[in-house]
Amino acid sequence: MHLTPAHLLLVAASSLLEVLVCALALRRRLHATLPLFTAYLAVLVARELILWWFYLGLGYTSRAAFYYYWVTQGILVVARAAVVVEIAWRALHGYRGVWALGWRLLCLVGLILLFHAAINAGGNASFLVGFIVTAERDLELAVAGILVAVLAFGRYYRIRLDPVQKMVALGLGFYSAVQVLNNALPREWQTLYFDWWTAIRLTTFLATLLIWLWALRKPLPVAAPAPALLPQGVYDELSPQVNYRLRVLSERLLEILKS
């Protein structure tokens, strides 16, 4: 299997966009609100630049390029998972009971993914490749599900995320959703139509970078303060019923988790 000229063009375009998105993120001081996402962009750029050096200097099929690619791919998988946790925290941390349940569920999902990846990699010729491929595929499904749940929960309870955070979540969710469908193809088809499978993956990531680039085209809005949970009487008199339900839900969850 090899990269075609079309694939190389997509990879080169993605690398250039990665640099641009990372530069814009630093210029907009995105690290003040999404430090893990900003770090993910920086790691992504550094990894791609060094990977090009391996490919051009040692060759695409060299052993050093192989190990560098898979080790750094594992690092990126962990980084993307951390970004998802960061977005969930941004949306839910103002409601202690909801977040207390949320971070426990996220930890449980992470342990399940690691356990499944380790089991699946056991029968592989290369444990490293098998583990990372399985972990990445499982992560795509988890990311799509978690972000949809967080955004739907936030919409129902009117929890506000700023536009950039929403676009970051949209980009991650879009990429993961397409990859879930792409990976759902039988393995025989993935091997037979490897060029198409790879092209879809690269094009989807290119589209994700464009989403993030669009989100960062303007200076970031002033960060809104964390939502305050007001006294019962104020909620009864002034606040919408939906916010009152969220307050009650948060308090009940907190009581259950403390018991």
Taking only the tens of pLDDT, the chain with its 259 residues reads 466 777 778 888 999 999 999 999 999 999 999 999 999 999 999 999 998 888 888 877 788 888 999 999 999 999 999 999 999 998 888 777 778 778 888 888 889 988 988 888 877 778 888 889 889 889 998 998 888 888 887 777 777 778 899 999 999 999 999 988 887 776 666 666 667 778 888 999 999 999 999 999 988 876 555 555 555 554 444 445 545 555 655 666 566 556 5
Q: Which amino acid belongs to residue 215?
A: A
pLDDT value of position 22: 96
The dihedral built from the CA positions of residue 132, 1, 125 and 65, taken in this order, carries a sign that is negative
pLDDT value of position 234: 47
Q: Which amino acid belongs to residue 125?
A: A
Question: Is 252 a domain residue?
Answer: no
Question: Is 237 a domain residue?
Answer: no
Question: 195 is in which domain, residue-wise?
Answer: 5-220
Cβ neighbours of residue 36 under 8 Å, at least 6 residues apart? 79, 82, 83, 85, 86
Q: How far apart are CA 88 and CA 165, in angstroms?
A: 10
Question: Is 136 a domain residue?
Answer: yes
pLDDT value of position 252: 63
Q: How far apart are CA 69 and CA 67, in angstroms?
A: 5
Question: Is 243 a domain residue?
Answer: no
Q: How many alpha carbons fall within 13 Å on the CB side of residue 216?
A: 27
Domains in the chain: how many in total?
1
Question: Is 168 a domain residue?
Answer: yes
pLDDT value of position 83: 95
DSSP state of 220: P
Question: Is 104 a domain residue?
Answer: yes
- Cα dihedral 214, 219, 222, 223 in deg (nearest 10): 50
Question: Is 250 a domain residue?
Answer: no
Q: How far apart are CA 254 and CA 259, in angstroms?
A: 9
pLDDT value of position 239: 44
Q: What is the pTM of this model?
A: 0.81
Question: Is 257 a domain residue?
Answer: no
